Structure 1
Amino acid sequence: MTPRMTFAPLLALLALSAAPIEPQGKALKSATFEERRGLVLANDRLELTVLTQGGSMANLVLRDDPELLSPLWNPMRMAREAGRKTTESGTGHFVCVDGFGPVSPEEQAAGLPGHGEAHRQPCEVRYSGRQDKTLILTLAAELPLARELFTRTFRLVDGENIVYVESELESLLGFDRPVCWAEHATIGAPFLEPGKTVVDMSARRGKTRSHESGASSPPHRLASFLDFTWPEAPAVDGRTVDLRAAPANPNSGDHTACLMDPDRKLVFVTALHTGKRLLLGYLFKREEYPWLQNWEHYPADLKMARGLEFGTQPFDLPRREVIQTGSLFDTPVYRWLP
């Protein structure tokens, strides 16, 4: 049997006034989300839309919310509202495996996409059904270039505001190799609102991304490639910036990487809309995801996105650069897939 690498984060969407409602119809049904095929899982609290392409979590709402406001990023809707086209292949929460970041010229010539193959591959349904109070969906996709099998299982339990997610990556080759894996969890407007949406995490040390390796538009508000202690990051003007709240007057774009607290077995990242009292949270094992890249895209037109990208490496960079770096803050920046 081929050894497997397993990850199991928990996803919770909470509102202080949430109340259960009676389920209507089937708990699992087919759907279309932004012209993409998907499946909708629902219990008496939550409704989650999962795309059959890559198993991406595209939409998540509380069933008793009159607005049905999803915290997840929808670049297709944002582009449509702005009157422009989008080339984004990812949406909401998508997985980056095997690869987190751009590819080398050789990988590109071989057909390998940025952020790995998994989020672009069509998935087959391995299992769907109910076991007592738990609704279960298992999707799987083979990654033909990486020669890996990616499997993801979603579970919703009646009476809970939690999505249980378990993922497995199985090597189809006979030798150990480095693996690059990130969960590209991304929140977006209108849930992500200037001055009202606050992100926190169980992080300690952090580092700003080099300006040379990232986009320059919108302009940077953070200094280039400097260490800091979460949540106070160094700014280009010499002051510090509290990274938790979305800026009241947005017009900036930055990446930071944070090392999750090594003294915790379970670590977290949360996003709270203080006005709507709506909280999105992730809980995961620190040994599996020691890093979180904080991607802050705050254009002046308010079509904002913020990535809470927890994974095996601090920044989304080409595989070769990640492997050559080896470690940061005495912590490995990749894992081995046996």
Structure 2
Amino acid sequence: MRNFAARIHHGALRGTPAVVLENELLRVTVLLHGAHIIEFNHKPRDLDFIWLTPGTSWPGQGDFFDSYPGGWQEIFPSGGAPATYRGAVLDQHDEAVALPWECEVVEDDPARVAVRLTVRTKRTPFRVSKVLSLASGEARLSVSSTVTSEAPVETHAMWGQHLAYGAPFLIPGSRITLPPGVTVQPHEVTLNPPRRAVAEGGPYPWPVVPTPDGGTVDLSVIPEPGAPSDVCYLTGFTEGWYELRRPDGDAGVRVKWDAATLPYLWLWHEFGDTTGHPWWGRAYVAGLEPFSSYPTNGLPDAVANGSAMTLAPWSSRSVDWSVEVI
């Protein structure tokens, strides 16, 4: 136990076991039921970048929308709407976010701390493990994730990092910066269809794209509350990175990942335009989510369009990613 440099705390929030990684610059809180990262706080500003769900959603309470606290999640093996894959009935973003994860301290030193979180899925034959680490003096969380098939047959999966940004960090005029060459592919969503911000068709060059009413929208700029909601898919990443900055330039994040393993970036916009379930007009959030596959209709659609990951019997895949305050 330390109260300086890099350190780890264990505890519980509203009865849910949690682990906190902390240093001079960052405090990162992870709920162990679902491995939800619910705090990414830049301590010099007391500025949290993570969006938290309004209301009383909390892990373990019910279906996904009852249990989604907001924050950042590891999505595996199905992304998006409820679906059935080879007889396995999967809820929204099932299964890893719905299960309790084991936590093991793998490094505990003033210079660096790290924990390993592990879960086995129930309806599908997988194990997911990730190491979260924080070094003294750095405003960067590093994550190394591995998924393993424990089946003697070939399987498919969708794998993503569900990173959602909100208040107090996210404000109108915040800007998304991407590498050159990225394109936007809209796709119709089967669950809770959004009021679209992007016209069907594409792909379109990032960031200015047509809207359903014949106009255009610059997807790189976070709009005022009340703007249309949408989910679209960005691809063409020669390098896996993005930056999201406030308009005053005072704060932002840079996310880096292996684009060969996660070649898509899901862009989820919800700015108060959904006035019924599940948001009731209370959500102002932008999701920028590196993913292996698309769309957000569940694993069978990703298998059908050829974007799903294929795992050979007893095989593993790994990806490293990081998020840093800039």
TM range (shorter): 0.7 to 0.9
- Partner in structure 2 of residue 271 of structure 1: 244
Among 166, 176, 179, the alignment partner of 1:199 is 176
CA deviation string 1:159-217 (max 9, x = no partner): 1111110011111111222221111111113322223x22222261111222x635355
Shift of 1:112: 2.8
Equivalences for residues 1-338 of structure 1 within 5 A: 23-24=3-4, 27-33=7-13, 36-65=16-45, 68-75=46-53, 78-79=54-55, 87-89=66-68, 91-104=70-83, 110-131=88-109, 133-195=111-173, 197-202=174-179, 204-210=182-188, 213=190, 215-216=192-193, 219-262=195-238, 264=239, 267-275=240-248, 277-299=250-272, 303-326=283-306, 333-338=307-312
Distance change in 2, residues 1:229/1:119 (3 Å): same
Task: Count how many residue pairs are aligned between Structure 1 and Structure 2.
Answer: 297
Distance 2:229 2:167 in 1: 15
Question: Could you tell me whether the CA contact under 8 Å between 1:23 and 1:44 is conserved in 2?
Answer: no
Distance 1:214 1:207 in 2: 18
Question: Could you tell me whether the CA contact under 8 Å between 1:23 and 1:43 is conserved in 2?
Answer: no
Distance change in 2, residues 1:187/1:152 (3 Å): same
Paired residue type of 1:74: L
CA deviation string 1:141-160 (max 9, x = no partner): 11121111111101111111
Q: Is 160-169 or 297-306 further displaced after alignment? A: 297-306
Shift of 1:69: 2.2
Paired residue type of 1:245: V
Distance change in 2, residues 1:274/1:150 (3 Å): same
Paired residue type of 2:105: Y
Distance change in 2, residues 1:92/1:136 (3 Å): same
Distance change in 2, residues 1:206/1:200 (3 Å): same
For structure 2, the 5+ residue unaligned runs are 57-64, 274-280, 313-326
Question: Could you tell me whether the CA contact under 8 Å between 1:209 and 1:254 is conserved in 2?
Answer: no
Distance 1:115 1:245 in 2: 27
- Tell me how large the CA RMSD over aligned residues is: 2.6
Provide the secondary structure at the position in 2 that maps to 1:87.
helix
Distance change in 2, residues 1:26/1:237 (3 Å): closer
> TM-score with structure 1 length normalisation?
0.80
Paired residue type of 1:169: V
Shift of 1:253: 0.5
Distance change in 2, residues 1:34/1:91 (3 Å): farther
